[in-house]
């Protein structure tokens, strides 16, 4: 079960890497008239479900959680919600890579925390350390660190061109 859980935890990261580096091929795959960010969101949610199932398969739950759970999980989810609230679906799901115009945002947490969506996700994962074996949390965090590195190098010339 351990190898399958590890694969499940890492499953979405090759997909994100592919989309970030080759957005034009995703645009062609989605086709005319379909929003590539929305399709990416659907696929990402499916991968997230598989990640959670993988974690649940190796977890052991007990109640109540340790005290550090509440602030870490609450602030992590607040950051994720705030990023989505400020950027919307297109901003969260690589809209800029698909040729969309995303407004520049300077409200908190942007300008204060670098990559707040990943920081929030890592905080939420760390909150669950009493339930999930460390190696799976570490794998997921390393996936986020990998994506932070990938997304830090954005070349505007590789953005997708609209389908005519």
State how far the Cα of 42 lies from the Cα of 11, in Å rounded to an integer. Answer: 15
Domain assignment of residue 52, yes or no:
yes
Q: Has 75 been labeled as part of a binding site?
A: yes
Domain assignment of residue 19, yes or no:
yes
Token pair recorded at residue 11: 């499953």
Q: Has 115 been labeled as part of a binding site?
A: no
Q: pLDDT of 110-129, one tens digit each? A: 877 888 999 999 999 999 99
| Domain region containing 141 | 1-158
Domain assignment of residue 55, yes or no:
yes
| pLDDT(59) > 80 | yes
Domain assignment of residue 14, yes or no:
yes
Query: What domain count does the chain have?
Result: 1
Token pair recorded at residue 40: 């990416």
State how far the Cα of 80 lies from the Cα of 75, in Å rounded to an integer. Answer: 9
Q: pLDDT of 67-76, one tens digit each? A: 999 999 999 9
Q: Has 76 been labeled as part of a binding site?
A: yes
Q: Has 154 been labeled as part of a binding site?
A: yes
């Amino acid at each position: 079960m351990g190898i399958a859980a590890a694969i499940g935890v890492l499953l979405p990261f090759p997909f994100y890497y592919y989309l970030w580096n080759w957005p034009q091929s995703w645009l062609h795959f989605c086709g005319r008239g379909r929003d590539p960010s929305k399709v990416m969101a659907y696929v990402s949610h499916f991968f997230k479900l598989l990640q959670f199932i993988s974690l649940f398969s190796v977890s052991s739950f007990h109640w109540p959680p340790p005290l550090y759970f509440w602030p870490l999980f609450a602030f992590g989810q607040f950051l994720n919600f705030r990023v989505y609230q400020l950027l919307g679906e297109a901003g969260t799901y690589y809209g800029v890579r698909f040729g969309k115009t995303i407004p520049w945002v300077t409200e908190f947490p942007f300008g204060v925390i670098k990559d707040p969506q990943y920081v929030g996700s890592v905080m939420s994962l760390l909150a669950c350390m009493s339930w999930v074996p460390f190696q799976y949390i570490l794998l997921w965090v390393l996936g986020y660190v990998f994506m932070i590195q990938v997304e830090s190098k954005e070349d505007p010339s590789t953005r997708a061109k609209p389908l005519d």
